[in-house]
Amino acid sequence: MKKLLAIFAIVASLSVGTVFTTAYAFGDTTGLDEVFAQQDTQTQQDDTKLFGRLKRQMSLKLVMDKIANRLRLTEEQRAEIRQIFVTERPKIQAIALSAYAVHQQIKPLGTDGVYNEAEVTRLATLQAQNAKAAIIEKEFIKAQIFAILTPEQRAEAEKIRDEFEAKIQQRIMQGVGNFQK
């Protein structure tokens, strides 16, 4: 059961993360910053520090540029992909805001020593809806991007995805994050 929950958490996180990562990499970074602008001041400061650190560590723009170069995207293709993210940004932001709001409601649960199953179930259902919306949006964006790619670029994109998934699987099998326990 724990493994199943861990796998579900990974899939949900990867789906939401993929949407945010691609939106950040191909779009203007203010899109994600706006998502968190509606939080209270202290939380916003904490998130700014966290996202600043993540931006530096992951260098998403560089990674996405590397992928774009590996796919040999033309400037026209890059512009079309950027436009996809500009168009889809409002949906991505709505999903992010909803997921964050539910997360903020989940955090304090149980800290008083009382388990409220009805509230946990309600919030878990909301978060599952957010994960579903993120997966749907990710697949929609992916289909639009793949429609722009040539057959050779599609094959290379599949190869890149397979390499990424293999790295994730390897880390899971090595027990990173204690998923083995």
At 153-163, the pLDDT tens digits run 999 999 999 99
Between the CA of residue 70 and those of 9, 12, 73, 114, 157, what are the distances in Å? Answer: 30, 27, 8, 52, 9
Query: Which pLDDT belongs to residue 47?
Result: 58
Query: Which pLDDT belongs to residue 49?
Result: 62
Residues 6 or more apart in contact with residue 98 via CB below 8 angstroms: 126, 130, 133
Encoding tokens for residue 101? 């709001």
Regions of the chain where pLDDT drops below 50: 1-2, 4-9, 11-12, 14, 16, 19-40, 181
Query: Which pLDDT belongs to residue 98?
Result: 95
Q: Cα–Cα distance between 48 and 33 in angstroms, integer?
A: 8
Residue of 33, 10, 51, 13 lying closest to 134 (CA atoms): 13
Query: Which pLDDT belongs to residue 58?
Result: 60
Query: Which pLDDT belongs to residue 50?
Result: 64
Query: Which pLDDT belongs to residue 129?
Result: 97
Contact 130, 16 (CB under 8 A): yes
User: pTM of the full predicted structure?
Assistant: 0.63
